[in-house]
Amino acid sequence: MRTLYRLLRAGMHTALLFVLPWLTGALVGLAFDVQEVEETKNRFATLFSVVVVPLFVLQMAAIAVKIGREVRAQHAAGRRGFGIWVDAIDRHVRILTERGLGMAAVSLGMVVLALAAKWGQFGVLAIAGLGIMYLASTGATLISAFAVRAFDDRVRRGRGAIEREMSPPVVDAGDAVEERFLLTRVPVPPGFRLHIEEDLPARLGGDTRFALDRSVSRAEATVAAPLPRTPRGVYRLGPASIWYEDILGLTRVFVASRACASLRALPRVRPVLFERRPRSHAKAEGPLSILARIATEDHFRTKPYVAGDDLRRVHWKQSINTGQLVVRLPESVPHAPSRIRLVLDTFLPPGFRIAANTDGARLRQGERAVARAPDAMEDVLDLLVDAWIGLAHVLLRRGEAVTLVCAVRDGEGTVLRDIACRRGEERKWRAVGSDASWQNDITLDAVLAKMAASPQGGGKPPSTIVVSAGLWLGETARAPGTSFIVADSASVIPDHTAPQTPLAKRLLFFDYPVGAEDNRLDLKRLLAPRPPPPSVVRANLANATAQAIEQMRVHCAPTLIVRRKGLALVLETP
């Protein structure tokens, strides 16, 4: 169905535009008296054919050249099939912009008025509008057939290039990033502008759009713009679409898809606060609890104080000399770091699986409303990753041996990745946090089973802390030493959303000045169903969190809830 639509759309931009004036006149003749123009019909048809048919033939020849060139390039790249022909036809035939189509519609309206009202001035306006449109489209097609080839030849010979970069390419989430395009002697025909466009991922909050004049044909140029947002994640951008647009804005010619870049936004290390000191359920320390000890008077070493250390071990004189709290470590009881595995649960059960391509569509049977709110689910995952990374940082500073475990996507599949956290390699294991994304392949039970089957080495077996949104924790009982941190997912959903503009107002009023390209009519976005309200999404997530906590109580597994409190994360007892 999509292929048929694209072929019909391509036909509208070529042969049908040349037939529409006659078709419009015939339809008007059925409703109104057009006897006055009947006698000049043959003369007009002759003049129309003499002027327009050569333009149509030239346009078809230029389009055939460009389509053939692209299909040969696709075959050289190893791509075959009918689909590449449809893509090439749709890309090179659709040369009229929204402004050009509007001019064609107004000109046809003038034809209707001229015949219905018998007013010759409307006929002059119709001929002028249609003539400008035919000349602009034919000229753009002919010039682009040679300009695109010149562009490809110059790039192939290394005399011209379009490069793209993010500055810097690796940042902490929320930091400023600038997108840059470096252009070297890019050919631009006279009377045209060079446009670079791409729709950025939704989480980055915008799109890429640059317009350049002919000055880039003679020298090097750099254009840059800041990204609106930089949330946690890995973003692969490109290739950007490169177009030629005439100075009247009536036609647009596709040139190439080039210039790729990548951006990695690392999760920030946020402080983790405990509502109260976690209690141990045995006569030994747990992964989150530290037993109180009586200070000794043995020979001692010192280390910086971290939250949870016994205050009676503070070495006050050395703390004053160094400017920070220092605690004593008795040499008679050497510190034996505990082995702790932090598992990030990124599995989405069927009812919660994100349908990002059908945002706002009607829910299917068994599907939760949150599945139609991909932005909300990404905010929940950000909270999970922040808690996962922040807790690893706290445990590492306490001297524990921490290993991060997470299921991440690798190409077409999902793999289980684990990395040992070491001091001085913080950005390395934070990068795993930026790779984390929701996946549908590896459940939490499968992760824990694979870790239990892996060789443990000598000594005490490692403890496990699972950081999860509680959407699906499985039914099997957990091994001893397994603790859970469940995210309060509903707390990240905002209470209010931007007010929805009524359909009539969106059609009649623009957000930008009259004539701006930002006012382009996007029917798909205009008529798309609205996403579920935040209250419904929040209720789904709160219900999932409550069920997860109840399930952990049944299995007697230690459980804490993580929430945001300003810039910090708070671990609370449910």
Show pLDDT as tens, one digit a residue, over the chain (574 residues).
667 777 777 776 666 667 777 778 777 777 777 776 667 777 777 877 788 888 888 888 888 888 887 788 778 777 788 778 888 887 778 888 878 888 888 888 888 888 887 777 788 888 888 888 888 888 888 877 776 666 666 666 666 778 899 999 999 999 999 999 988 888 888 888 888 988 888 889 888 889 888 888 877 889 999 999 999 999 999 888 888 888 888 888 887 778 889 999 999 999 998 866 555 555 455 556 554 444 444 445 788 898 878 888 888 888 998 889 988 876 554 556 788 999 999 998 877 776 544 444 455 555 666 667 778 888 999 999 999 999 999 988 888 889 999 999 887 788 999 999 988 888 888 999 999 999 888 888 888 888 887 766 666 778 899 999 988 877 666 677 788 999 999 888 877 655 556 656 655 666 665 556 666 666 666 666 667 788 888 888 889 899 988 888 888 888 899 999 888 999 988 8
Strand pairing category for 482-487 and 559-565: parallel
Q: What is the pLDDT of residue 269?
A: 92
Strand pairing category for 178-184 and 161-167: antiparallel
217: left (phi over 0), alpha (psi -120 to 50) or beta: alpha
Q: What is the pLDDT of residue 298?
A: 47
| Packing angle, helices 41-76 and 82-93, rounded to 10 | 130
How far is CA 539 from its chain centroid?
26
Six-digit token string for 23: 């078709």
Which residue, among 387, 391, 397, 266, has the nearest Cα to 327 in the 3D structure?
397
How far is CA 503 from its chain centroid?
26
The length of the chain in residues reads 574
- How many CA atoms within 13 Å lie on the side-chain side of 531? 20
Q: Are the CB atoms for 431 and 421 separated by under 8 Å?
A: no
Q: What is the pLDDT of residue 33?
A: 72
Q: Which residues lie below 8 Å from residue 509, measured CB to CB, with a gap of 6+?
A: none
Which residue, among 151, 120, 162, 356, has the nearest Cα to 259 in the 3D structure?
162
Distance CA 404, CA 306 (A): 21
User: For the range 255-258, what are the long-range contacts, defined as Cβ-Cβ under 8 Å and sequence gap of 24 or more?
Assistant: 255/144, 255/147, 255/148, 255/151, 255/194, 256/148, 256/151, 256/152, 258/155, 258/162
Strand pairing category for 261-266 and 233-237: antiparallel
Q: Which of helix, strand or coil describes residue 196?
A: strand
The torsion angles phi and psi of 347, rounded to 5 degrees, stand at: -80, 135
Task: Determine the residue type at 57.
Answer: V
- How many CA atoms within 13 Å lie on the side-chain side of 95? 30
Which residue, among 260, 270, 152, 205, has the nearest Cα to 563 in the 3D structure?
270
- How many CA atoms within 13 Å lie on the side-chain side of 448? 22
Q: What is the pLDDT of residue 531?
A: 72
Q: Are the CB atoms for 370 and 537 separated by under 8 Å?
A: yes
Helix%, strand%, coil% for the chain, nearest 5: 45, 20, 35
Q: Are the CB atoms for 500 and 568 separated by under 8 Å?
A: no
Six-digit token string for 106: 């107004």
Diameter over CA atoms, the chain: 119
The alpha helices in 119-228, defined as continuous H runs, are 120-156
Which residue, among 195, 223, 220, has the nearest Cα to 209 in the 3D structure?
195
Task: Walk across the sheet containing 482-487 and list its strands.
Answer: 272-274, 568-572, 559-565, 482-487, 463-468, 339-344, 401-410, 413-420
Q: Which of helix, strand or coil describes residue 219?
A: coil
Distance CA 550, CA 559 (A): 10
Q: What is the pLDDT of residue 278?
A: 56
Terminal CA-CA length for the chain: 52
Q: What is the pLDDT of residue 290?
A: 53
374-401: string of b/e by CB count within 10 Å (b at 16+)? bebbbbbbbbbbbbbbbbbbbbbebebb
Q: Which of helix, strand or coil describes residue 498?
A: coil
Q: Are the CB atoms for 489 and 534 separated by under 8 Å?
A: no
Q: What is the pLDDT of residue 117?
A: 78
Fold of the domain spanning 161-266 = Immunoglobulin-like (2.60.40)
Please identify which residue in the block is written with the tokens 């946690």: 232
Which residue, among 438, 446, 440, has the nearest Cα to 469 in the 3D structure?
438
Distance CA 568, CA 273 (A): 7
Q: What is the pLDDT of residue 390?
A: 93
